A and B are shown apart, each in its own frame.
Chain A
């Protein structure tokens, strides 16, 4: 009976072209990433230069991807989780230590970003693409814009303002406004931030994480707290939209290149990461997917209007005050409690 089942499985596998021990196939690099996160022409170029095939699979949330890998799914080589998940995954021993001798292009990685990165020595992750939050506004409707979170207090915009419906981002903006860390665990600071957000709330149309792009593009909202990547897309549609990077500092997030333990093509995986940090490649890729690859040597190769847009690249003085949102584990409850109080406030 068992033999029958085994034969059936083997036959099915053969039919599906999966018979494990066949003739040696060309090398395959499995990349597990977000959709549309690398310029297709660059993938083809790497395949040609290295005589390999790249197979890209996509995930839609860090949480689901992590759950799947944790349960034992394997076969992926290079991945691009967000920084705070890289921290969790390396803590679980899921990531390979990177061999810097095979990554000469790491000298190009922006050291100003590395100072605030969660893995500043690039032990097991190399920053791939950066985004940050900030404030978008309509140039024709908002008079006297200033790069500060105090814009959210402007009474003349009452009812036409949105903030992200995300507890860490929105409480984080208030903490930054007050000059605190957005990862603080200090109860007094959190309570002060709560009072600030409640004050802002009186000015808001709503807390909104998705539709604010449409609202800005159509002119329904005049000012919106949002993600630079989203705002950049909205700008392409409505050139009246401009971006402010509050000088008090803001949240920055990064997806990092990592190699999973168990990868069978470790060399090729290193070569791929190195390739993505080639200045030419990094610039071309950034421009194509509209995120910033933190690669200092690539910056001069970007067109000026792209590079000088604060929704793409922050002023170094502001960037120095930025922080990456970290996973707080069980202390997340502190933020949840404050957020509930904000939501319940009139």
Chain B
């Protein structure tokens, strides 16, 4: 039987569609031309200038710090929300689900504007605090959804068995529930981290003086400044991501 070529072609096509833009970006970060239309020579110049751009590094620092806080807070809140929604039924169950879903579907611009108006009404100084609070607001929903998914095939009999064997509520939560939910919680946390690092629209509205994050900085640089620095920065972030994923895979393999 002759094997069809179509699956191979589709795979190659999809891979090219996904990764060719990234390849172009990486190549352009070494391109001497600032417009990237033409190859005018190999250079490390953009990396050298990136190294000296203290505002970009400050923005990266802001972004990572905000993402770390937002991730921790939304993971804790999201996990407990999922447990409560899964374990207990109330007459308002549907309303509770709606409240969790809402931030996933509300347009970002609406959320950003309403959060800004809210913070201004509270006389809260715009800054790190308002950005973290806003990021938690939408990250919680994603964490909750992911953990709820994990809870769908969770066997509560195991918890009862643990309690039969003498575990108190705290021990059974720590030794039984958490380890079983860990992959879901980790996935939710990673999602929250990514969303927080990524967010432009909401952050733009709630950011205050001195809290320009990397996405805000990048948008301004595209309009007014030097895009090649962004190419270089993206390449570094990409390399960092690939190394992290590779390392974590290695670590997991060794464990098994």
Contact = CB atoms under 8 A, between A and B. Distances in A.
Interface of A: 9, 12-13, 15-18, 20, 28, 30, 32, 34-37, 40, 55-61, 64, 67-68, 71-76, 211, 213-215, 217-218, 233-234, 236-237
Nearest to B117: A71
B219 A36 contact: no
B84 interface: no
A336 B36 CA distance: 33
A56 B55 contact: yes
B7 interface: no
Residues of A contacting B: mostly: mixed
A211 B36 CA distance: 10
Interface in B12-57: 33-38, 40, 54-55
B225 interface: yes
17 contacts: A12-B132, A13-B129, A18-B127, A30-B209, A34-B223, A34-B224, A37-B224, A57-B207, A57-B210, A58-B217, A64-B204, A68-B116, A71-B205, A73-B120, A215-B37, A217-B37, A237-B40
Nearest to B123: A72
Contacts of A56: 55, 212
A57 B129 contact: no
A231 to B, nearest CB: 12
Contacts of A20: 125
B211 interface: yes
Given A30-B210, A58-B212, A74-B126, A68 B40 contact: no
B208 A73 contact: yes
Interface residues of B, number: 39
B224 A60 contact: yes
Nearest to A61: B223
Nearest to B124: A9
Contacts of B223: 34-35, 60-61
Contacts, number: 109
A36 B35 contact: no
Given A57-B212, A68-B204, A73-B116, 16 more contacts: A15-B69, A34-B220, A34-B223, A35-B220, A36-B224, A36-B225, A40-B54, A56-B55, A56-B212, A58-B217, A58-B220, A58-B221, A60-B222, A75-B126, A214-B38, A217-B35
A72 B149 CA distance: 40
B111 interface: no
A214 B217 contact: no
A234 B34 CA distance: 9
Contacts of B210: 28, 30, 55, 57
A217 B126 contact: no
A75 B209 contact: yes
A4 to B, nearest CB: 14
A57 B224 contact: no
B6 to A, nearest CB: 35
Contacts of B54: 40
A75 B205 CA distance: 13
B192 to A, nearest CB: 17
Contacts of A30: 209-210
B233 to A, nearest CB: 13
A32 B211 CA distance: 11
Nearest to A12: B129
A64 B221 CA distance: 15
Nearest to A53: B210
A234 B38 CA distance: 12
Contacts of A73: 116, 120, 126, 205, 208
A218 B127 CA distance: 44
Interface in B65-114: 69, 113
A16 B69 contact: yes
